[in-house]
Amino acid sequence: MPQPSSARLHEFRIVSNDKIADGIFSLVIEAPALAAAIKPGQFMNFEVPGNAQSLLRIPLSYARADAEAGTVEVWYAVVGEGTERLSRMRPGDTSTVLGPGGHGWSVPADCSRVLLVGGGIGVPPLVPLAEQLAHDGIAFDVCIGAKTASTCAGVSSFEALGAASVAVATDDGTQGHHGFVTDLAADALGQTSYDYVATCGPGVMMQKVAQAAGEAEVYCEASLERMMSCGFGACSTCNVETTEGMKGACMCGPVFDASKVVVW
């Protein structure tokens, strides 16, 4: 398991902040040192101005980092007051971000084919992993789950990176399979030989993906969502119960060996 990078405080300037799906935004920030340091699966803790009573930063994963341009792209869902404030920030606005935090994905050596399974806003952390796989010449398939077609994001990104297949499941059947993304993942694991599964999304979804991967005897990692209040292991608000005891998601995660997660 790779060691977590030492998170640092970075000033950033917003390049763009645009809606890309229903309730989902793409935020591009200019932060050269962060863009050069962050690795697939790591996260950042954003300070969002506008509410003096809000002391906590907002932990977000990233979808793309361009070291040459000095930019990092984040996809986020507007789910509360903090992300609603973030959605109102405009190009040129500035603030600070703490990162990169934690450790990311650990693709096994000699891996030849990978299955990526993302649900909702759990899709973004899989995009830089797909980019890494494409760079390393490793084939990958993608399963994406969303509530409805208007909230589905990421298909074109994975296709542009050369995914062997991109399958979509929506709860209401407005795009792709009418049902859960776990159905697609189980089918893929039953039909194709994989060396590694990476998943991010709702806990119940990841638990089922991990179970299917375990039954297929494929190593699986999951990126868990917790409220990482401080982002550097001091507050213990992001603990994850594992077979090896309680571990903080901000330092020991957010990516965990799925077989060792007890509480999703």
Half-sphere exposure of 215 (CA within 13 A, CB side): 11
> 89 and 130, same structural domain?
no
Residue 2: is its pLDDT beyond 60?
no
Out of 53, 68, 101, pick the residue that ends a domain. Answer: 101
Residue 1: is its pLDDT beyond 70?
no
Nearest CA to 43 out of 219, 249, 247 is that of: 249
Residue 1 lies in a domain: no
CA distances from 22 to 25, 124, 147, 234 (A): 8, 15, 10, 35
Could you report the per-residue pLDDT of 149-189, keeping only the tens digit for each?
999 999 999 999 999 999 999 999 999 999 999 999 999 99
For 111, residues 6+ apart whose C-beta sits below 8 A from its C-beta are 138, 195, 196
CA distances from 101 to 6, 19, 20, 90, 232 (A): 7, 25, 25, 25, 7
> 134 and 65, same structural domain?
no
> 66 and 14, same structural domain?
yes
Residue 243 lies in a domain: no
Quote the pLDDT of residue 154: 96
Quote the pLDDT of residue 6: 60
For the residues 29-57, what does the mean pLDDT come to? 93
Band (55; pLDDT cuts 50, 70, 90): confident
Out of 101, 123, 151, pick the residue that ends a domain. Answer: 101
Q: How many domains does the chain divide into?
A: 2
| Lowest mean pLDDT segment, chosen from 72-86, 149-163, 219-233 | 219-233
User: What does the alpha-carbon distance between residue 107 and residue 198 come to, in Å, rounded to a whole number?
Assistant: 9
Could you report the per-residue pLDDT of 88-115, keeping only the tens digit for each?
999 999 999 999 999 899 999 999 999 9
Mean pLDDT of the chain: 94
Could you report the per-residue pLDDT of 122-156, keeping only the tens digit for each?
999 999 999 999 999 999 999 999 999 999 999 99
Residue 44: is its pLDDT beyond 80?
yes
Tell me the CATH number at 96: 2.40.30.10
The tokens describing 90, both together, are 């405009």
Domain that holds residue 188: 113-223
pTM: 0.94
Q: Are 128 and 208 in contact (CB under 8 A)?
A: no
Tell me the CATH number at 186: 3.40.50.80
